Amino acid sequence: MSTTRTIAHNTIVQLIGKAISTLLGLIALGIMGRYLGQEQFGWYITTISFLQFVGIVMDFGLIPVTAQMLSEPAWEKQRLLQNLLGYRFITAILFLAIAPAAALFFPYPRDVKIAIGFSTISFLAVAMNQIFIGYYQTKLQMHVQAIGEVIGRIVLIVCLWAFIAAHASYLWVMATLVFSSVAYTMVLWAIARSQTKISFAYDKEIWLSITKKMWPIAISIIFNVVYLKGDVILLSLFREQTEVGLYGAAYRVLDILGQTAMMIMGVMLPLLTFAWSRDKKEEFKYRLQQAFDIMMLFSLPITVGIMILATPIMSLVFGPEFGIAGPVLAVLALAVFAVFVGAIFGHAAVAIDRQKNTIWIYASTAVFTLIGYLLFIPKYGMTGAAWMTAFSEIYAGLMLLYVIRHFSGVTPSFKLFFKCIYATIAMSVTILLVPQWHVLILIGIGAVIYAGALYALGGISKKTIKEIASIKSAPPSS
């Protein structure tokens, strides 16, 4: 099987898995939103955002670093994996221990502080997943992540159903997140263990190499956390928890779609790294174009579709009382497109080992966005937060494009991009003609019109469809 087909199969399995897990995740969020109401859903958003603030800081970019290092010939793979696991576990424990203590100094309800304490277990599990995801990326086995994520979401919904049926409190609802994350990690761990020896190891030379690889990403991520989670943290300090709940519900849609962008680029990163590290410039150019085309193929219709259907989407997922957050989601949809763009060129920076040259982007984004948050959140609340979030992602995405173009000498072709725009316009016009129809019907019709228009425009060829549809399996060519 060709590398293209291997990537296609891997991506399709991931997309199917992501579609299922996204649906289950939205169902879970809808259940929580309806059961908890605006105020206690705000507690949930505050708890998760506080831990995500710490979690992003301790991220260190270990998913792309793992994929990058395992794609390079420098270290024996099993030895490297064991050291990566050990490195991740120790750093996660150290950072997560800070979160419950820090939460005591914030003016949050008592139950929120308790939830922050025990939910660190969930984030420890997520932290360990980073290494396994990087491992499966290099193996082109990202279907394993999809399986694990789906199982985790099923555990989440089953536990939610059981606790809500028993009229459980907010804290028990939050406990379901811990069970879900642990189940997800157990799946990834078990399958990796069947392929290689899984244990923790400390090799000073490897740990130093990991640190050298990840510190530019880590610094960038520290700046990232300011504009990625600073909005919710500041909103929780300046506004009522009800408004936090409304904004957080809209932002969760952005979160889910952002994960899809990272998943797609996770497939491409080892291939980009392989080509660049072996000085195969034409292959690198081809892979970067593939990544750009795939991301534009999905991001444009998703962005415009959300902008048009924002209010009915919020009402459908979270309940009618959350419909007033529709305009906020429409603004955040702009950030969705920018997240896809940023994912392409952020991963490309890792592939060509230019993480250090992107630090100024994240630093300047953090400064501009933090100033905006402090100016606009106290006055405009969640609307101000949404516009500054959109600005931050657009600015970062454009600057990353500039850096990659400068250092790689590669500028993606916009041929398919413009065809996607025309297909998106056709989709949008169709949806706007029948606004009274149910949102699920409109989403289905929009998807069909978009795919049909893109096919008619030659954006997707019969050859590509036939190759992707092939079920013959063989290892990828290099």
How confident is the model over 376-398, as pLDDT tens digits? 999 999 999 999 999 999 999 89
At residue 111 the predicted structure's pLDDT band, cuts being 50, 70 and 90, is very high
Does residue 193 register a pLDDT over 60?
yes
Structural domain boundaries enclosing 144: 3-413
Q: Which amino acid is at 330?
A: A
Q: Quick one: average pLDDT of 268-284? A: 83
Asked whether the beta carbons of 79 and 204 are under 8 A apart, the reply is no
Q: Is residue 430 part of a domain?
A: no
What mean pLDDT do residues 327-356 have? 89
- Which distant-in-sequence residues (6+ apart) come within 8 Å of 183 by Cβ? 151, 152, 155
Among 182-191, 197-206, 342-351, whose mean pLDDT is lowest? Answer: 197-206
Cα angle value 254/326/315 (rounded, 5°):
95
Residue 426 lies inside a defined structural domain of this protein:
no
129 found inside a domain: yes
Residue 420 tokens read as: 């996607």
Report the pLDDT value the prediction gives residue 171, as an integer from 0 to 100. 93
Asked if 392 and 369 touch (Cβ cutoff 8 Å), the reply is yes
pLDDT tens by residue, 228-266? 778 888 998 899 889 999 998 998 887 877 777 877 787
pLDDT at residue number 399: 93
Using 50, 70 and 90 to split pLDDT, how confident is the model at 134? Answer: confident
Q: If you average pLDDT over every residue of the chain, what do you get?
A: 83
Whether the pLDDT of residue 267 is over 80: the answer is no
Amino acid 17: pLDDT: 76
Q: Which residue would you say has higher pLDDT here, 97 or 460?
A: 97
Query: How far out from the chain centre does Cα 110 lie?
Result: 30
Per cent of the chain over pLDDT 90 is 32
Asked, for residue 457, whether it belongs to a domain, the answer is no
Does residue 299 have a pLDDT over 80? yes
The mean per-residue pLDDT over the stretch 317-322 comes to: 88
Residue 82: what pLDDT? 81
In a domain, residue 421? The reply is no
Q: Does the pLDDT value for residue 1 go beyond 50? A: no
- Choose among 227, 166, 177: nearest CA to 374: 227
Residue 433 pLDDT class (50, 70, 90 cuts): very high
Cα–Cα distance for residue pair 396/243, rounded to 1 Å: 27
454 closest CA partner among 429, 431, 426: 426
Which amino acid is located at 398 in the chain? L
Per-residue model confidence (pLDDT) at position 309: 94
In a domain, 436, yes or no: no
Q: Is the model's pLDDT at 157 over the cut of 90?
A: yes
Tell me, yes or no, whether 433 lies in a domain.
Answer: no
171/103 Cα distance (integer angstroms): 16
pLDDT band at 478 (very low <50, low <70, confident <90, very high): very low
Taking the C-alpha atoms of residue 295 and residue 244, their distance in angstroms, rounded to an integer, is 30
pLDDT at 312: 94
Residue 7 binned pLDDT confidence (cut-offs 50, 70, 90)? low
Please indicate, yes or no, if residue 460 is contained in any of the structural domains.
Answer: no
The better pLDDT of the pair 141, 441 is held by 441
pLDDT at 474 over 50: no
Q: How many domains does the chain have?
A: 1
- 433: exposed, middle or buried (C-beta count within 10 Å: 0-12, 13-18, 19+)? exposed
Rounded Cα distance between 175 and 172, Å, is 5
Asked if residue 259 lies in contact with residue 26, where contact means CB atoms within 8 angstroms, the answer is: no
The Cα–Cα gap between 325 and 284 comes to: 42
Structure tokens at 295: 């991301």
